[in-house]
Every structure is written in structure tokens, then in C-alpha cells.
Amino acid sequence: MKILLSLLFCIPFILLAQTEQDTTSVNQKYSMLYKKRVLENIEIDLLGSFYTQDGSNAAVTGGVGTEELKDLASNLNISIPLNDDDVLTIDATISAYSSASSSNLNPFLGTEYDDDDERRIGTITGGTPWVASSGASKEDVWKSGVLGFSHSSDDRNKIYTTNLSFAKEYDYTSFGVGLGFTKLFNQKNTELGISANVYFDTWQPEYPIELKNYMNTIGKLNTGIFSGIDILNASGNPIDKNSLTVWKPFNNKLIDDEKRNTYSLSLSFSQILSKNLQVSIFADFVIQQGWLANPMQRVYFSDVDNFYIGNAANIINYTNPINTDVFQLADDIERLPDSRSKVPIGMRFNYFISENFVLNTYYRYYFDDWGINSHTLNIEVPIKISETLTLYPTYRFYNQTASNYFAPFEQNLSTEKYYTSDYDLSKFNSNQFGFGIKYTDIFTQNHLWLLGLKNVSLNYNYYKRNSGLEAHIISLGVKFIIE
Amino acid sequence: MKNKIIIIFVLSLFLSSCVAVKEYEKVNINDPDMSLSDRKSKKFETSFHVYREGASGVNGGKSGGGCGCN
């Protein structure tokens, strides 16, 4: 690892040796005389995707329960040449999902509340981590917009970029700003880039319904959603709500810092090694601060008594999907440190094998101070079966170690400072198989009003974790230009 | 330390031995499938990796900010 970092920092010095043989004065004069536009036409990319997943380790219900999720997303990206040197980019995304696990923020069927979540209007008829609830949290829309600007120098050897971003979902808002600089050397055979991004994010936290109710009613278990409802102990017997051995959350305070800031510095280096071969190496240095846990995600401790609402007979089947009518009350929400440093280092190696085959490889090593180490390998072999059609068979392997704070359902200890049962932070590996096809309209013969078709692509990927999660994603992309 | 020196030395040789490819020789390098970044059509695929995996970054996707993800 240290060797990789050393290499990365040595690259600029190694390059100094090369820049001596860089652009000759003749080349520079040529560039000044003939300045090609950075972008000839307005380009419009439309992209739509459908994603679906299922598994049995939902984080909202403490590491057990359905992870069924469907997401329909669309993206519009417009690149506009402002003049010979400058390009404005507008990127807008809308992603609408429905999630069984998120719906179980409030798993109790038939419950309705007034605006203060204090008065139960309906009747609790049960709850389970294995079936989606009908609560408002079952669906959400994530909206994002990015405005980008780039300026290229006359000789096209320097590129300056900047961007502003905004994103919003029901319980989360983000503002971001970024700056970048890229320098090309050695007759544009070598490229060095540096960029920095900052995100200022804010939670509008939503909590598991029983914890929220407990806080709102100051622990009165005869009011709110618990009014008239039995709370069962592990033996299935109703407890005396006025006794000392009642259910209560482990922490009296939920979220105390709604901010989440991210600071990211990116370095990149790419080199053309021959007429058919090029390589790039890149690294990010990321620091996150603020509330890095997800306030929706429950945790159940192994050293704390368990309490339930619902059918006592099914407590024994709690972690089995046959449980359709009993729900365990949370001990706490997940707690994670208020800072995290991440370092991903990646490499791409692309080889033009022949007129028909290209080899694209990608490798990433990642580590952070939460204990996650990860390797990602991606191989794609574009196959050009004709001038207009290209096939994209793809394979991706990923693995990671578990975060120091992860433990499965009912295995965290209340004596720990930090804990989570989010399986995205567990140890696992995954395999992904994909296939894509792209049609390229070389001469832009097909038109839709002013829009000339450039290409159409369709991609499908199947993703499977060894922990059981499976996902499918299908994407359709269309690129137009306005001449 | 010894390994670092060897690797840096080899890399230096590797880079300095590169013959600069002229613009008119970059037909294959400029092929869209030789791009050193992900295709735009992979945008949402990258997004779901950011949400579902502990690692992120250096792949054109987010590295932590902008969403309530890992």
C-alpha cells in the first residue's frame, strides 16, 4: 500500500524528465494557428435505468428482514459549447424508489398518526421485518442537479473545471462545489489532473417509529402508538408498562449533529504507452465529518432484554420469513464515529487489441479508518461486430472486509461506543456479470426534430453477494447532438 | 524501502522509454471504447455500487457526499 502511495507521489517528478521533450515551439505555433473547438456541437445524453434488489439483511430492521427495493431513475446531461474554449454542462437526475426495508421505519400495519406522531388514529394489526409496510417511508424521490463549466487553454494543454451540485431527498439535502485542473504534457501523451470537491450535507432525520414515539411521549408507554397495545417480553407475555422492566431505548438522545460534510481531493495521471495502449492511475483522499450513521437503521443488542409487539407465537420465528405478524422494538439506532477517512486508489489499463476487440481493465484498492479494506476488479471487452454495433461483455469482482463496528442482528453489545448491523458494512464479496450493446449512427443520419442521433446503448447487469443480496439493473442510454 | 526504490526505478524506465505518439497516430487511442473513464451509460450502475458497498471513489461516482449513502 505504501508503495502504491509512493508511486503516486513520484509521478509528477518522473514526468519532469519527460516534459523536456514536450511540445516543441513548432507544435505550439501550430496549435495557436489552428484551434479546434473543444466541443463541436451541443451534446445531449438521456439515460434511464431500472434497478431491483432483494435480500434478507435489511439495515432498517437491524440486519434481518426483506431488502426488496425497486428504483426507476432518469438522467439528462447536456454539454453546450459556449465558444471555442468553454463548455457548460448541465446534469439533472431523478431517482424514484420504493423500498420494503425503508417502509419498515414504521412496520405496524394500520397505524396512522396526527402531525405530531402522538395520536394513533388506526389500530395496530401487526408488524414484521419480512413484509413491506404501507408507511410513507416506503418510497422516496432523490433529485440531483450539477452545473459544470470547463475552460481549455489555446494550446489545449490546460483544462480548468468547476462545478456546483445540489441533491435532495426526503430526509437528506446536499450542496457541493468542486474545482479541477488538468495539465497535458508530452504531445498530449501524458495527463496530470487534480481536483477538489466539498459537500455540505444535512440530515432531516427520520427515526424508527417506536423510538420517535418514545422520545415524543417522554417514555410514556400508555400513549402514542403504544396506547392500548401489549408490549411482549421474550417469553411472549405482556409486560406491565408501569414496571421497572419495561422496554426503553438504550439512548435518550437520537441524532445530535444533523450535518455531514465531505472533503475530497483527487489526483489522476494517465499515459499513452503506445498507439494501442494507455494507462491511468488515480487516487482520492476523502474526509467525512458529522453524522455518518443512518438514523433510520435499528440496532438490537445481545446483552439487553428483547420486547415485541404482535403475535407472541411467532417470536420464535422472528428471523424467519414465515414471521408475518410480530416486530421487535429497537434498542437503538446505529451509532458510528463522526469522522471517516477514505483512500481509494485505482488503475485503468486499456488495450486496443484489434479493429474488433478492445480490452478495458480497472482495479481499485480501498481502505478507510473504519476498518474496511476492499479490492475491485472490472474487465470489459468491447467487441465491434460492425462499424455501427458494439457488444460489451463485462465482469466485475468486489470484496471488502467488515467495518470495525459491524455485527449481525442481536450480536452488537450495548457496552460498545459504536455499532451497526448494516450489511453494506459487513464482510462480503460480490460478482457482477453484465452485457451491453451500442448502436452508433456514424453520420448522424437519424433525426428527431433538431436532434441528430449519435448512439443508443442498452446494458444489463446481474449482481450477487455471497451474503445473499441479489440485484439486477438495466439501463437505456441515447445520445443526441444538435449540429 | 528496497522494494520502493526498485518499483520507482522500473516505472521511471517504463515511462521514459515511452515514445510520444503523434496526434495522427492516435486513431486507436481516440476510439471511444479506449476512454479512461466509465461510459456515461454506467452512471446508475456506479450509483448502486456506492449505496451497496463500503468502498467508493476513483470510478467517476461519488466518494461519500451528495447522498445518505456509505
> Which A positions 453-472 lie with beta carbon below 8 A of chain B?
457, 459, 461, 463, 469, 471
> Which A positions 66-85 lie with beta carbon below 8 A of chain B?
71, 73, 75, 77
A176 in B contact zone (CB under 8 Å)? yes
What predicted TM-score, i.e. pTM, was given to this entire model? Answer: 0.87
Identify which has the larger pLDDT, B11 or A34: A34
Helix (H, G, I), strand (E, B) or coil at A422: coil
A346-388: per-residue pLDDT in tens?
999 999 999 999 999 999 999 999 999 999 999 999 999 999 9
H/E segment holding residue A144: strand A139-152
Amino acid at A70: K
A120-152: per-residue pLDDT in tens?
445 566 788 888 776 666 778 999 999 999 999
pLDDT at A124: 60
Nearest to B57 among A169, A198, A284 (CB): A284
Q: Which residues 6+ apart lie within 8 Å of A187 measured at CB?
A: A22, A23, A27, B20, B21, B22, B23
Q: What is the ipTM of this complex?
A: 0.86
First to last CA, chain B: 35
pLDDT at A123: 55
Nearest to B65 among A77, A174, A360 (CB): A174
pLDDT tops 60 at residue A422:
yes
Would strands A332-333 and A69-81 be described as parallel, antiparallel, or unpaired? unpaired
Nearest to A425 among B39, B47, B54 (CB): B54
What's the grid cell of residue A178?
A: 468542486
A91 in B contact zone (CB under 8 Å)? no
Q: How confident is the model at residue A252 (pLDDT cuts 50, 70, 90)?
A: confident
A479 to chain B, closest Cα gap in Å: 10
DSSP string, A48-98: EEEEEEE-SB-TTTTT-B---EEEEEEEEEEEEE-SSSEEEEEEEEEEEEE
A260-275: per-residue pLDDT in tens?
999 999 999 999 999 9
pLDDT at A22: 46
Nearest to A186 among B20, B26, B33 (CB): B20
Weakest mean pLDDT among A345-354, A414-423, B54-63: B54-63
pLDDT at A33: 58
pLDDT at A200: 95
Which range in A247-251, A277-281, A313-317, B14-18 is most confidently predicted, on average pLDDT? A277-281
Nearest to B8 among A6, A384, A469 (CB): A6
A363 to chain B, closest Cα gap in Å: 10
Residues from chain A that touch B45, judged by Cβ atoms under 8 A, are 49, 434, 459, 461, 473, 475
Q: What value does the mean pLDDT take over residues B48-56? A: 92
Report the distance separating Cα A358 and Cα B32, nearest Å. Answer: 10
Greatest extent of chain B over all pairs of C-alpha atoms, in Å: 46
A57 in B contact zone (CB under 8 Å)? no
Report the distance separating Cα A197 and Cα A202, nearest Å. Answer: 16
pLDDT at B69: 67
Q: How confident is the model at residue A451 (pLDDT cuts 50, 70, 90)?
A: confident
